[in-house]
């Protein structure tokens, strides 16, 4: 059985083609800078050279079309036609209070996704477009929605409720939902395996840092608190989102400028964050280039982002008490050593001590690495996330009738001996070029 997963983020569309019987990845890739201009596809097929090509994708529908054309391309593709795909797993950001776990997509589910899409203005429309585009090409294959909020359903009321009139929660489902659930689920299970601990006796702080960023306090293997709220706007400084801000500030600016509520919502979600501070850049790579060129506002944006993450780490240490590990994941968390340095500098008294040399070496998606010094009370892991694998396993289990919430369901990657065949192959190639990387690879205890 071959399963396709589509993960349409705010400015990207990731995909994976997975051979369930062989437990192996046939192809993986991403379309980056979707809607931002200068978009391109990076496509990897087992046994072939990596393929990258620029292609304008003003919408996520265009990105899905590009993915399908690439997968079936005679030279760069991996399948003859889309009929070999027997199931599709889709990431869906927000289900409001209507969904607490992954579901098979039907008309009622699609109607519900559309009903709550305003709660995820950057992602839900992209998720919906991805499902609609894929269903046109694969109308007979079951399409499964992997709910990004499901992981956080274990948060206690003191963490998920807002101090606003309680009737808002009762009547309008106003509460903290949290996001990046598939990423947190994967990295939490993998961190427990690396630590040699029962996942449900493990306390973690996980920083998912990408264009959209959030941080998660994991207590006894379950989500206990998280930085994002009723929508993905709250929390950390992100690519185009403001993150935490005084709720009275928008009203003040609206009175001064005459902006409407819709205009303000658009600014806070799409024109704020790093883009708002720099005036030019939302992508961390562009910001780092600008910093090195002496751009002071780009440097300020970096400092603000790191400061916010550092504050949440301290807050979640207080909330959890015991912390078994700090984990970085997602594009920035996995690759941006300069951002990890800014975040980790000064945390020594909190028992978090990183090794600058190890931090600079950690730049791979093919291995889990450890960048803490031996004397650090709290180990610091970089765990490349694998949301696509979570989506694949959920999709298969939904079809097989064996799916359940993660506290009652076992994933393959929970096993300490789990091996991602594709990443293992990529790691062998990396080690041939950079043998020093071996010194920071995290080995399960």
User: What are the boundaries of each domain within the chain?
Assistant: 2-147+387-414, 198-383
Alpha helices by DSSP H, 354-386: 356-361
Q: What is the pLDDT of residue 225?
A: 98
At the topology level, CATH places domain 198-383 in Nucleotidyltransferase; domain 5 (3.30.420)
Average pLDDT over residues 320-328: 98
Tell me: pLDDT of 1 over 90.
no
Question: CA 2 to CA 374: how far, in whole Å?
Answer: 43
Percentage of the chain beyond pLDDT 90 is 72
Q: What is the pLDDT of residue 100?
A: 77
Average pLDDT over residues 110-134: 83
Tell me: pLDDT of 347 over 90.
yes
Average pLDDT over residues 340-352: 98
Question: CA 143 to CA 128: how far, in whole Å?
Answer: 12
Which of 148, 225, 283, 355 is an active site residue?
148
Q: Is 148 a catalytic residue?
A: yes
Q: What is the pLDDT of residue 121?
A: 73
155-159, 332-336, 387-391, range with the lowest pLDDT: 387-391
* pTM for the full predicted model: 0.90
Fold agreement between 2-147+387-414 and 198-383? yes
Tell me: pLDDT of 10 over 80.
no
Return mean pLDDT, the chain: 93
Q: Using one digit for the tens of pLDDT, what is the confidence trace for 181-206?
A: 999 999 999 999 999 999 999 999 99
Question: CA 99 to CA 271: how far, in whole Å?
Answer: 30
Q: Using one digit for the tens of pLDDT, what is the confidence trace for 22-52?
A: 988 899 999 998 888 899 999 998 778 889 9
At the topology level, CATH places domain 2-147+387-414 in Nucleotidyltransferase; domain 5 (3.30.420)
Q: What is the pLDDT of residue 64?
A: 86
User: Sorting pLDDT into bands at 50, 70 and 90, what band is 137?
Assistant: confident
Question: CA 93 to CA 119: how far, in whole Å?
Answer: 9
Q: What is the pLDDT of residue 178?
A: 95
Environment class of residue 348 by beta-carbon count within 10 Å: exposed (0-12), middle (13-18) or buried (19+)? middle
Longest Cα–Cα distance of the chain, Å, equals 61
């Amino acid at each position: 059985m071959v399963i396709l997963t589509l993960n349409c983020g705010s400015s990207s569309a990731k995909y994976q083609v997975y051979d369930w019987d062989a437990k192996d990845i046939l192809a993986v890739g991403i379309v980056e800078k979707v809607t931002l201009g200068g978009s391109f596809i990076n496509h990897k097929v087992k046994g072939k050279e990596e393929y990258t090509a620029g292609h304008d994708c003003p919408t996520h529908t265009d990105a899905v079309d590009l993915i399908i054309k690439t997968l079936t391309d005679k030279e760069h593709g991996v399948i003859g036609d889309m009929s070999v795909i027997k199931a599709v797993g889709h990431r869906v950001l927000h289900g409001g209070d209507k969904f607490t776990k992954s579901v098979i997509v039907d008309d009622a589910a699609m109607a519900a996704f559309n009903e709550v899409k305003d709660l995820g203005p950057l992602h839900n429309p992209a998720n919906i477009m991805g499902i609609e585009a894929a269903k046109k090409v694969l109308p007979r294959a079951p399409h499964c929605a992997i709910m990004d909020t499901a992981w956080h359903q274990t948060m206690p009321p003191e963490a998920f409720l807002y101090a606003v009139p309680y009737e808002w929660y009762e009547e309008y489902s106003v509460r903290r939902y949290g996001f990046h659930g598939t990423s947190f689920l994967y990295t939490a299970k993998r961190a427990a395996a690396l630590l040699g601990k029962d996942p449900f006796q493990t306390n973690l702080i996980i920083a998912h840092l990408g264009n959209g960023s959030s941080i998660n306090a994991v207590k006894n293997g379950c989500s206990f608190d998280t930085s994002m709220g009723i929508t993905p706007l709250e929390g950390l400084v992100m690519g185009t989102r403001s993150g935490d801000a005084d709720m009275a500030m928008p009203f003040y600016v609206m009175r001064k400028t005459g902006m409407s509520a819709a205009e303000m919502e658009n600014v806070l979600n799409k024109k704020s964050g790093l883009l708002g501070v720099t005036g030019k850049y939302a992508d961390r790579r562009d910001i780092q280039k600008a910093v090195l060129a002496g751009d002071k506002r780009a440097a300020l944006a970096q400092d603000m982002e790191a400061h916010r993450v550092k504050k949440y780490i301290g807050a979640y240490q207080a909330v959890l008490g015991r912390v078994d590990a700090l984990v970085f994941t997602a594009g920035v968390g996995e690759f941006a050593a300069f951002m990890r340095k800014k975040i980790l500098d000064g945390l020594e008294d909190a028992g978090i001590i990183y090794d600058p040399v190890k931090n600079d070496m950690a730049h791979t998606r093919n291995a889990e690495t450890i960048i803490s010094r031996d004397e650090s009370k709290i180990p610091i892991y970089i765990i490349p996330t694998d949301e696509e694998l979570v989506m694949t396993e959920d999709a298969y289990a939904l079809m097989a009738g064996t799916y359940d919430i993660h506290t009652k369901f076992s994933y393959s990657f929970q096993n300490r001996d789990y091996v991602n065949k594709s990443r293992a192959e990529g790691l062998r190639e990396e080690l041939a070029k950079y043998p020093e990387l071996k010194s920071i690879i995290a080995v399960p205890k």
